[in-house]
Structure 1
C-alpha cells in the first residue's frame, strides 16, 4: 500500500472508514471458506451470495463480541468453534447426515451411539474455527492494525450483522433441505445447542492475562512455515489414511497445532506479526489445497484452474499488504 492509497482511504467518508474493516471481514470470510478452499469454481462465485451472509455475518459477530468485551484470541477461537458447531450441527447438519451430497462424510470413524464421525467432526469444526473465521479476522485486523482491538461497529451495525447471519442461516438451511430432506434427531439437535452454549460460556470466561511469561518464540518466517506445513498436512491426511487411523490422525494434528500455538502465543515475545504469519501460512495452505480439490459447484478443468490461480493471487496480495501494515505500525511505534 503506497501513500496514495493511504490518502484515498483517509479521504473517504468518516462513516465508511469506521466500518470499512467490518465490510472487509464480511467478504473475506466466505472467500476464504469456500472460494480459496476450492469448493466453488470461479463460474459458481454467485453461490457466495447465498452462503456469504452466514459466513460474513458470523465472522463479524465473533470478532465484535470478543473485542467489545476486551477479550483476546482465546475467546475469538472458542467463539469461532461455536460458529462451526452452529453451521455444521444446526444449519447444515453434516455432523449427523450420513449421506450429505452423496459424500458419505460419516463413514470413517463412525460412532453409532452418537450418529457422528470421529473424523468428520474434528475435521469440519477445525475448518470453520481456523479458516472460515479466525484466519479472516487475523488478516483484516492486520490490514487495520491501529484498530486491531477496537470495536468496528455500533449497535445498529452489530444488529445488522446478526440479522444477516440469521437470515443467511435460514437461507442455507432451506437450500440444504431442498437438496436433502435429512433432519437430525431431536436428541442430536438439543445436544448440539447445549454444547454450543457451553462453548460460548467458556469463551466469555476467558480473560487476557495482565502479564505474559518470558520465553523464546520462533521467528515470524518460521511460524508462517510451520502454519503452512500444518495446514497442508491437515488438509491432506484424509488422502493418505482411512477409517479410525484417519480419525486419530486428525485429532493428533489438532492437538499438535493447538499445543504449539498456546505455548508460543502466550509468551511476551509473541507479536502481531507472528499472528499474521500463522494466519497467512494457514491461508496459503488453503490456496494450495484448492488446486487438487474438485469443486462441488461450477466447472472443472481449465476454468477451475484459472479461478484457483486468481484466488491464490488475491490471498498472497492480502497477506503481503497485511504484513506491510503490521511492519509499518511496529516501526512507527519504535521510532523515537
Structure 2
C-alpha cells in the first residue's frame, strides 16, 4: 500500500472507531432512541475518544489485548465514577439504584460489588473492546497492530476526551444534583491509576506457537461469546428473592468460562483475525437483542423504540458481516505471504 493511501486508511480507521464506540455503547444498547442520533457527536468525545486513546496507547507501546482490556476497565471507572458518578448516586437517572444494588460493597470504592461488575463489563467489553476489535478487522497490511495516529493526532484526541468528559461531568452534576465525596473520587482515582499501571506491566505479545490449544471454528468462538454475554444479561430476569451472592458468583463463573479457553486458544498459531471478530461479533449480537428490551424504557413511543432497535440491529449485522469478510481476506493475504516466505520443509511461521 502506498504511504499516502496507508495514512488515509489509518485516519479513516481512527474516525471510524471514534464514532462506532458511542453507537454501540449507547444506541445499540437501547439507552438512546434513534431520534437522538445527532447526540452521537456529544457522546463521541467520551466514548470514542476513550476507545481511541486505549487502542493507541496500547499499540504505541507494542502491547496487545491484555493491556487494552485493563485500560478498558480503567476507562469504565473514569466514565461511571469520575464523570457520571453513577457508582455512588443512589438515584442516578431517576432509578432507585440504591435498592437495586443493595448487596455486597467494595470498601475502597464505596460502591456495590454487583454495580461495579456491571460497569466494568459493559464498558470494558462493549464500549472499548468490541469497537476496537471490529474496526481493527478492516486494517490492512499490518495496520492492525500499528498506531493509527501520530503524536499531534493523539494529543488532539486526548484534549477532546478531556473536554468531552469535563463537559459531561458538569452536566451530570447539574442534572442529577449529586456530587460524590472527595474520598470516593480519591478511591476511584487510585484504582484507575493501578489499572493503568498494571496494563503497561503486561508483557508485549510474543510469537504464537503450536503448543496452545487449537481453537474451534470462528463461528463457534462467536457462539461462545454470544452465549456468555447473553447469560450475563439474563441475570436481569432472575426472580425476586435470589440471594445477592448468586449473580456475583455467576459473573465470575462466566468471566472464567470465556477468558480461560480464549487465553489458551490465543497462544495457537491458528488463532486468527476471524476468531477475534467472532468474539466481538457474539457480544455485538447480544447488545442487539438487549437493545430491544432496553427500548421499552425510553421516553419515546413503543413504535419509535422498535424502529430504532431494528435500525441499529440492521447496522450491527451489516458491520459484522463486513468485518468478518475483511478479516478473512486479511488472514488469507497474511497466510499467502507467510507461505511464500517459508523455506520448503520449515515449520509454520510464528505470527
* TM-score, length-scaled by structure 2: 0.87
Instruction: Find the counterpart in structure 2 of residue 271 from structure 1.
Output: 272
**For the structure 1 residues 61 and 176, does the alpha-carbon distance in structure 2 shift closer, same or farther, using more than 3 Å as the test?**
same
Equivalent residues of 2:212, 2:266 under 8 A apart: no
CA shift for structure 1 position 15: 5.4
1:247-276 deviations in Å (ceiling 9; x for gaps): 332333233333333232233321111000
**For the structure 1 residues 236 and 332, does the alpha-carbon distance in structure 2 shift closer, same or farther, using more than 3 Å as the test?**
same
1:278-307 deviations in Å (ceiling 9; x for gaps): 001100110111111136655131111111
SS at match of 1:153: coil
Equivalent residues of 2:33, 2:304 under 8 A apart: yes
Match status 1:17 vs 2:15: no
SS at match of 1:144: coil
**For the structure 1 residues 155 and 171, does the alpha-carbon distance in structure 2 shift closer, same or farther, using more than 3 Å as the test?**
same
1:92-150 deviations in Å (ceiling 9; x for gaps): 11111111112222433242855311111111111000000000000000012431011
Q: Distance in 2 between matches of 1:18 and 1:32?
A: 21
Structural mapping, 1:256-335, within 5 Å = 256-294=257-295, 297-335=298-336
* C-alpha RMSD of the superposition: 2.2
SS at match of 1:178: helix
Q: Distance in 1 between matches of 2:258 and 2:312?
A: 25
Match status 1:143 vs 2:144: no
Where does structure 2 lack aligned partners over 5 or more consecutive residues?
341-351
Structure 1 stretches of 4+ with a deviation exceeding 6 A read none
**For the structure 1 residues 276 and 284, does the alpha-carbon distance in structure 2 shift closer, same or farther, using more than 3 Å as the test?**
same
Q: Distance in 2 between matches of 1:208 and 1:256?
A: 24
1:62-105 deviations in Å (ceiling 9; x for gaps): 00000011111011111111110111111111111111112222
Q: Distance in 2 between matches of 1:258 and 1:333?
A: 26
Q: Which of the residues 55, 69, 72 maps onto 2:64?
A: 72
Equivalent residues of 1:143, 1:325 under 8 A apart: yes
Q: Distance in 1 between matches of 2:262 and 2:177?
A: 40
Match status 1:161 vs 2:157: yes
Equivalent residues of 1:142, 1:276 under 8 A apart: yes
Equivalent residues of 2:212, 2:267 under 8 A apart: no
Pairs aligned (count): 328
Where does structure 1 lack aligned partners over 5 or more consecutive residues?
1-8
Q: Which of the residues 78, 84, 102 maps onto 1:86?
A: 78
Q: Distance in 2 between matches of 1:62 and 1:17?
A: 19
Q: Single out whichever of 274-283 and 88-97 deviates more from structure 2.
A: 88-97
Structural mapping, 1:228-239, within 5 Å = 228-239=226-237
